[in-house]
Amino acid sequence: MAARNSRKLSVTTPSDREIVLTRTFDAPRAAVFEAWTKPEHVRKWYGCAVFDFVVCDIDFRVGGRYRFTMRTPEGVEHTMAGVYREIVAPKRIVCTEHYETHGFRREDAIVTVVFDEQDGTTTLTSTIVHPSREQRDGHLNSGMEHGAGETFDRLAEHLATMAVV
């Protein structure tokens, strides 16, 4: 089991508006894609462990919407939401993403998630393109690297419990 969590998240900023998250999982692409797109799986791994995951709505189709709301132990709710623009199962998803909390709403970013499999392992690459450098930097400075690292660790743990697809 330890080997499943040995792969760490890489966070890079290839341009002044982009954040690229990359992580390799010891699971086939179909399983990683299913875990990423089906609410019964997403509820089990998305977000930090100390948060309650209170809303997990996924209408997984082009033009469909998703909405995830997490609640901190202090009762603060954080919502990520967007619209699916492109779906090429099980290889690629393109969607919008915005963050809402306490009446604050960040402009939509465009997120492209690519699932590449080689020899039974899957590299997931999520490229987030923000509308401005300021918004990208705000995202980076929000603690996202720690939160995303914990979230991806939880995904790896969940994948280890899934039947091979």
Q: Which of 50, 47, 43 is nearest to 73 (CA)?
A: 50
Alpha carbon separation from 103 to 76, 78, 99, 131, 134 (Å, rounded)? 12, 10, 10, 20, 19
Q: Which of 114, 127, 143 is nearest to 15 (CA)?
A: 127
User: Could you report the per-residue pLDDT of 69-106, keeping only the tens digit for each?
Assistant: 999 999 999 899 999 999 999 999 999 999 887 666 67
Q: How confident is the model at residue 108 (pLDDT cuts 50, 70, 90)?
A: very high
- Which of 27-36, 83-92, 132-141 shows the lowest per-residue confidence on average (mean pLDDT)? 132-141
pLDDT at 6 over 70: no
The pLDDT, as a whole number, for residue 164 is 56
| CA-based radius of gyration for the chain | 15
Greatest C-alpha distance within the chain: 45
User: Could you report the per-residue pLDDT of 34-72, keeping only the tens digit for each?
Assistant: 999 999 999 999 998 899 999 999 999 999 999 999 999
Alpha carbon separation from 149 to 9, 84, 87, 152 (Å, rounded)? 6, 23, 25, 5
Alpha carbon separation from 102 to 78, 132, 134, 151 (Å, rounded)? 8, 22, 20, 23
pTM of the model: 0.92
Between 7 and 127, the more confident residue is 127
User: Could you report the per-residue pLDDT of 141-160, keeping only the tens digit for each?
Assistant: 988 999 999 999 999 999 99
- Note the Cα 91 to chain centre separation in Å: 15
Question: What does the DSSP 8-state code read for residue 3?
Answer: G
Cα 109 from Cα 95, distance rounded (Å):
8
Options 3.30.530.20, 3.40.50.720, 3.40.50.2300, 2.30.30.40; CATH for 2-159 is: 3.30.530.20
